Copies of this chain bind each other. A is one copy, B any other.
Amino acid sequence: MSAEIFGKQTTIELRKKHIGPSCKILFSNDPVKIVQAKGQFMYDETGQRYLDCINNVAHVGHCHPEVVRAGQQQMEQLNTNSRFLHDKLVLYAQRLQATLPEKLSVCYFVNSGSEANDLALRLARQYRGHRDIITLENAYHGHVSSLIDISPYKFHQLSDAEQNPFVHVAPSPDVYRGKYRADHPDPATAYAHEVKDIIERVDRKGGKIAAFIAESLQSCGGQVIPPVGYFQQVAAHVHKAGGVFIADEVQVGFGRVGTHFWAFQLQGEDFVPDIVTMGKPIGNGHPMSCVVTTKEVAEAFMSSGMQYFNTFGGNPVSCAIGLAVLDVISKEDLQGNALRVGKYLTSRLEKQKEKHPLIGDIRGCGLFVGVELVKDRVKLIPATAEAQEVIYRLKKQLVLLSADGPHRNVLKLKPPMCFTTEDVDLVVDKIDQILTELEDALGLKFQNTENESSKRKMVDEIGLKCRSDLVNTKGNNQAVLGQKTKRVKT
């Protein structure tokens, strides 16, 4: 372990004094001081080892030696801006492009997911001179002003007057808790129609749609997996209105979903967004990010005559690190690992769902999994306090997990991609134990015994799952299937 500079209490006091109080720390009543990390493990100042189940930034594993070495070597040699030619800039753009559908061929390198999403909005608005944006309920797209505007996850805290009149919110395509659920005959079309309705309303008021933006799978919004076919239909409506489709892959890209490199590809090969934004995992923690778009969108942006210059974006160190991340994903077959370990994780969690009434839904693809806790499987009352309790107890047992979603009741698993089946066993066993204790204390028991496999069949039939034979996601529960009219959204 590296030596501490300050005792923990001093660190806490200096943080209170000098770091903005809006920057919250995890486990604020007893925060964790981390001094070192490796793979899927983080170490505190006493040498205690935590299993990291939440850090999708340390994508190929914390401090991966190959990524570290690439950064170290390039730092020694050159770190300057993209106004000079540099081979690693173009090589990296070429390599990224090779992971994407062919028409997504033009890159803009920036420093963060927020910068990427902001630039995506600028590209979209310049494309046809339109201004209105459609975003999803509970969406989070970043922390700069323009993104607070399109992030209901954030702006629901603002007054109506503070909300941007050019932003329109469509229902989240959440088939568990949303407007159209697993029992709906065609939730993809129903949710896409909601977007169409917004476009028509905007049009009647004289507005023009610049873009629809969505995470390919909503993350902060509660690990939501949109029904297959939703994006295609939305894109058709949006294109007809002259807008573009922005797929935000900041949280979910780079092989995490297991079956595909990009999460938008879960919708099928017939779907290609106009703009893709990347972030968090792209540099395994190094501040970097990218926007990829089509030649047409890029040329329209240039036609404004306004140059785009990003001081740090696309510097040689970032590009060297980005290249190393792509290499490691490929060499270590981390996408394959996400698929295999993700499948094991989901299957183990499904068994927990049969055992624990607090588990309302298990959904996810690869190593992007959500466990939604509810107090009542019929009314879907969010088990918010219970989710927080699970998180706190896990932390005491040296497992780092978080809870998110609009009700903060969805346990989020999005670990480094080197996560193993042993790690799965460890975290699932602990969740099992904690839920057992909580349910005992609450006196919670199953109130009916309807056969789980019949529900599963129904869900599979309506196609609410990740593509491929390796079904990791449903978005469904028994009670809702039998209780169409009882939608309680709290």
Q: Interface on A for B, CB 8 Å cutoff?
A: 2, 4-6, 8, 11-12, 14-15, 17-26, 31-37, 42, 55, 57-58, 62-63, 68, 71-72, 75-91, 93-94, 97, 105-109, 111-115, 118-119, 121-122, 143-146, 148, 154, 157-158, 279-280, 284-288, 293, 298-299, 301-302, 304-315, 317-318
Contact = CB atoms under 8 A, between A and B. Distances in A.
Contact of A78 (B36, B90, B279, B288): B36
21 contacts: A6-B91, A14-B94, A15-B89, A18-B93, A18-B105, A19-B108, A19-B314, A22-B108, A22-B298, A22-B306, A24-B309, A25-B82, A36-B78, A42-B80, A42-B84, A79-B284, A111-B112, A115-B143, A122-B148, A285-B312, A287-B318
A35 B309 contact: no
Contacts of A14: 90-91, 93-94
B55 A19 contact: no
A193 to B, nearest CB: 30
A118 B106 contact: no
Contacts of A18: 90, 93-94, 97, 105-107
Nearest to A122: B145
Nearest to A1: B77
Contacts of A298: 20-22
B20 A91 contact: no
A6 B90 contact: yes
Given A2-B77, A8-B85, A63-B77, 4 more contacts: A19-B107, A111-B115, A111-B312, A119-B143
Given A90-B15, A111-B287, A20 B75 contact: no
A373 B58 CA distance: 50
6 cross-chain pairs, A with B, having the tightest CB-CB distances, nearest first: A18-B93, A14-B90, A287-B312, A33-B85, A79-B285, A5-B87
A311 B144 CA distance: 12
Contacts of A6: 87, 90-91
A236 to B, nearest CB: 26
Identify the interface centre among A22, A32, A105, A307: most chain B CB within 10 Å of its CB: A22
Contacts of A146: 144-146
Nearest to A251: B311
Contacts of A82: 19, 23, 25
Contact of A90 (B11, B35, B81, B109): B11
B57 A311 contact: yes
A31 B83 CA distance: 9
Nearest to A4: B87
A314 B87 CA distance: 29
Contacts of A122: 145, 148
A12 B81 CA distance: 16
Contacts of A118: 144-145
A115 B115 contact: yes
B24 A83 contact: yes
Given A20-B106, A68-B76, A91 B143 contact: no
A112 B20 contact: no
Contacts of A78: 34-37, 42, 62-63
Contacts of A317: 285-286
Contacts of A17: 105
